[in-house]
Structure 1
Amino acid sequence: MTHMTPTTRAAVVLGVAVALTVGLAVAPARAHAAPVDPSSTSVTASPTTASSPPARSSKSAERAIAAFTSRGERGSTGSPVSPDPASTSVPTVTTPAAVSQTIRSTPTTTLFRGGLYVDPAGEAARAATTLTSEGRTAEAAAARTISKQPVATWLGSWLTDAQLVKKIDGTVAAAEKVGATPLFVTYNIPNRDCGSHSAGGSADNAAYLRWNSLVASRLAGHRVAVVVEPDALTLISNCPEQTSGREATIASAVATLADAGVPAYLDAGNSNWVPPQTMAARLKAAGVDRARGFATNVSNYYPVESERVYAEKVSQATGGARYVIDTSRNGRGWKGTWCNAPGAGLGVVPSVQTGTTKLDALLWIKTPGASDGECNGGPAAGKWHASYAVQLVANRATG
């Protein structure tokens, strides 16, 4: 993805600033473990999972936008951008429609140029360090094995605005230093997880869209990809009373990301949840036409081929939307439960695809080793499940 022009970046900043000042009003609106606090090195640290997210400082958001405004006056190398005094041509302004078309048409080799980013300070790496210090050699080795693969960085209400900006900026800078592409996950929709193991999220739709605008402002102008709100659309079938108007909320969030030039993949469940035609209708209502495409099998266990059959049907029903598949824990297929499934194993390692189908990449979107919740012997959602990580590595897919 190419960098945005200064004019376009300024437009994004203005839109984000307005959103933060006046709020965004929309119609009122399974289970994924929220990652542990990135600042914690404890394998038992857990994020807040109460239904009300922690209070955020409006001043930190203002500082973030002010910093982004300043950064928007500079090119990708950090040098000031000045108009050519000899030029009489009118600068090209990229329209939202043009940005969306670029997002949809960019080759995967360009979108993921340099390969997928491996975070040396990711959750598995931190767990490995802690477990080593505690003398838990086998568990540390499993965590270290997982840490060597590119895993998505999850963003949600366990981060304050200041922490959110620091996390995004640090990850993007580190990825750009090695020329790789980082993958993020937004996981902050109101009534997240229908109040189950990973309950929480933004207080309401307006707060969510303000938060999403801040995320978009930090990602604008960088080569990144984002998976939008795992389970948010599929859970409409499970808790309709808590998800009223959700498609419109996600559509607004996706539009903000698209205007910032950020390719997004809307979560589309898996091959054994919502029928393809039903999911396609929800994706359309949620703005998939402005996104890169959709994601399947997030945090689940279904085989790649089952997911590809499902995803191709959804793609056809959405006008050819592209897709990615989560292979983080599908090495042994479905094991009868989604929550810390016994007998599960790591799937094939992440890779960018260049074939003739609509498949962009096989990704580790879920963090292998992070607990789904207090089920099948697991700790609370988001805590590192050391013994489970050992199992996942022992049962990993071969080939």
Structure 2
Amino acid sequence: MNGSRGAGARASVAVVGAFLLFAGCSSAGGGGDKSDGSGGSGSKITQQPKNSDPFWVNPAGNAAEQVAAYVKAGRTDDAEQIRKIAEQPTGEWIGTENPEQEARGFTEAAQQAGRAAILVLYNIPHRDCGQFSQGGAADGNTYRAWIDGVARGIEDRPATVILEPDAILHLVNQCTPAQFQEERYFLLKTAITRLKSLKNTKVYLDAGNAGWGHPDQIFQPLKQAGIDQADGFAVNVSNFYSTQDSLAYGKQLSAKVGGKHFVIDTSRNGNGPYTAGKAEENWCNPPGRALGESPTTKTADPLVDAYLWVKRPGESDGTCKGGPQAGDWWPEYALKLAKASD
């Protein structure tokens, strides 16, 4: 309904481990903003300028690997298109099995590059109301243990956390079964408290998008979930609404939750939302979309802490419109997003 989120960082621990091994064995002399991907000459992945974009670019992510594959195949034009994705920081979606190891791997790699990791936590029980990204932790105790694992992995390293896409919206629209709603509020509040106990972690609770409804419907649930303890909220996660519309929505909502700041997911909003299909399906792998504004902390409004690419462009929303499983890399779609942003 609001955008399938992906199943987390598939094989992330392995690639982060490989990056850390490389970094540890490299010469200490360079000091620049370049980080090697796995593809050798012609496929190196570069960090963005820290003064405008302090977030970590994963040099071993799916897009970086695709750049290397295209270079090897002689598809240099396509490699340069995918580089538009590979050289931007994107959210690392923490998986269910090894949260401590994944969070530690990402934040250590980011710290070595002098950057902050963007982590997405998407494991609330009864997640996604049975849609493409259904699942989540088995129960509240399992979820709290998972959050604690993430926190142990982050420690005092810099991290920006996007907390539980859709979790609040699915309370508001009653998609989450009534018997689990009180527990969800408690789990979200507990997660915020645990994560904010960390020295250098920022937490933004997901707050929907400009096309979902009116801020009047969501501000009280945000308060009940502990938004007062968080750094702010996130809008447009995995969706396509324009930055302008997202800014207007976020400012209205901010005014109702004590002036909290917010971040906007601009990863795929370059052409705005798709409106030609069925309304209930327009969020899932829509055609004709484009990359949005690059991640940065230099935004159009002081209430907006950052434009982020929370959703990793090129990863499927789900098995719709010919797409693979939610969260799987889809190079053809990634290429279309990149080319449409020219």
Give the TM-score category using the shorter length: 0.7 to 0.9
| CA drift at 1:241 | 1.2
Q: In the superposition, relative to structure 1, how do residues 138 and 346 fare at CA in structure 2: closer, same or farther (>3 Å)? A: same
Identity %: 38
What is the CA deviation profile of residues 21-68 of structure 1, one whole-angstrom value per residue up to 9, with x for unaligned ones? xxxxxxxxx4212245225999xxxxxxxxxxxxxxxxxxxxxxxxxx
| CA drift at 1:354 | 6.2
What corresponds to 1:22 in structure 2? Answer: none
Distance 1:208 1:112 in 2: 36
Contact in 2 for aligned 1:114/1:179 (Cα 8 Å): no
What is the CA deviation profile of residues 297-326 of structure 1, one whole-angstrom value per residue up to 9, with x for unaligned ones? 001000111111110111010001110000
Q: 2:121 aligns with which of 186, 190, 209?
A: 186
Contact in 2 for aligned 1:372/1:381 (Cα 8 Å): yes
Distance 1:202 1:37 in 2: 17
| CA drift at 1:167 | 2.4
Is the aligned partner of 1:38 residue 2:11? yes
Is the aligned partner of 1:371 residue 2:310? no
Distance 1:344 1:376 in 2: 14
What corresponds to 2:302 in structure 1? Answer: 357
- Counterparts in 2 of 1:289-300, with a 5 A limit? 289-300=228-239
What corresponds to 1:96 in structure 2? Answer: none
Distance 2:236 2:68 in 1: 29
Q: In the superposition, relative to structure 1, how do residues 239 and 327 fare at CA in structure 2: closer, same or farther (>3 Å)? A: same
Q: In the superposition, relative to structure 1, how do residues 316 and 378 fare at CA in structure 2: closer, same or farther (>3 Å)? A: same
Q: How many matched pairs?
A: 296
Distance 1:41 1:137 in 2: 27
Q: Secondary structure at the match of 2:85?
A: helix
Contact in 1 for aligned 2:4/2:326 (Cα 8 Å): no
Distance 2:52 2:298 in 1: 12
Q: In the superposition, relative to structure 1, how do residues 36 and 288 fare at CA in structure 2: closer, same or farther (>3 Å)? A: closer
The one-letter code sitting in structure 1 at the alignment partner of 2:11 is P
Distance 2:62 2:113 in 1: 19
What is the CA deviation profile of residues 314-348 of structure 1, one whole-angstrom value per residue up to 9, with x for unaligned ones? 10100011100000000000103100011100001
What corresponds to 1:88 in structure 2? Answer: none
What is the CA deviation profile of residues 155-197 of structure 1, one whole-angstrom value per residue up to 9, with x for unaligned ones? 132xx22xx3332222212221221111110011111111111
- Counterparts in 2 of 1:81-100, with a 5 A limit? none
Distance 2:128 2:69 in 1: 29
What corresponds to 1:260 in structure 2? Answer: 198
Q: In the superposition, relative to structure 1, how do residues 354 and 305 fare at CA in structure 2: closer, same or farther (>3 Å)? A: closer
Q: In the superposition, relative to structure 1, how do residues 326 and 132 fare at CA in structure 2: closer, same or farther (>3 Å)? A: same
Q: 2:111 aligns with which of 172, 176, 183?
A: 176
Distance 2:319 2:153 in 1: 34
Distance 2:147 2:115 in 1: 23
Is the aligned partner of 1:319 residue 2:253? no
Q: Secondary structure at the match of 2:264?
A: strand
Q: 2:268 aligns with which of 310, 315, 329?
A: 329
What corresponds to 1:224 in structure 2? Answer: 159
Q: Which runs of 5+ in 2 are unaligned?
A: 16-49, 276-281
TM-score (norm 1): 0.69
Please, which moves more after superposition, 337-346 or 171-180? 171-180
Distance 2:255 2:244 in 1: 17
Distance 1:37 1:377 in 2: 20
Distance 2:194 2:295 in 1: 27
Q: 1:391 aligns with which of 305, 329, 336?
A: 336
Is the aligned partner of 1:215 residue 2:160? no
What corresponds to 2:131 in structure 1? Answer: 196
Distance 2:339 2:174 in 1: 34
Q: Secondary structure at the match of 1:362?
A: strand
Distance 2:263 2:12 in 1: 29
Is the aligned partner of 1:251 residue 2:224? no
Is the aligned partner of 1:239 residue 2:178? no
What corresponds to 1:344 in structure 2? Answer: 289
Q: Report the RMSD for the aligned CA atoms in angstroms.
A: 2.5
Distance 1:144 1:379 in 2: 22
Distance 1:235 1:266 in 2: 14
Q: Which runs of 5+ in 1 are unaligned?
A: 1-29, 43-110
Q: Following superposition, which runs of at least 4 residues in structure 1 exceed 4 angstroms of deviation? A: 39-42, 111-114, 130-141
What is the CA deviation profile of residues 337-393 of structure 1, one whole-angstrom value per residue up to 9, with x for unaligned ones? 100011100001111036653110011000000000111121111111111111100
Contact in 1 for aligned 2:261/2:305 (Cα 8 Å): yes
Q: Determine which structure has greater relative contact order: mean sequence separation of CA pairs < 8 Å that are 6+ residues apart, divided by chain length.
A: 1
Contact in 2 for aligned 1:340/1:371 (Cα 8 Å): yes
Q: 1:115 aligns with which of 54, 57, 77?
A: 54
Contact in 2 for aligned 1:190/1:204 (Cα 8 Å): yes
| CA drift at 1:249 | 1.3
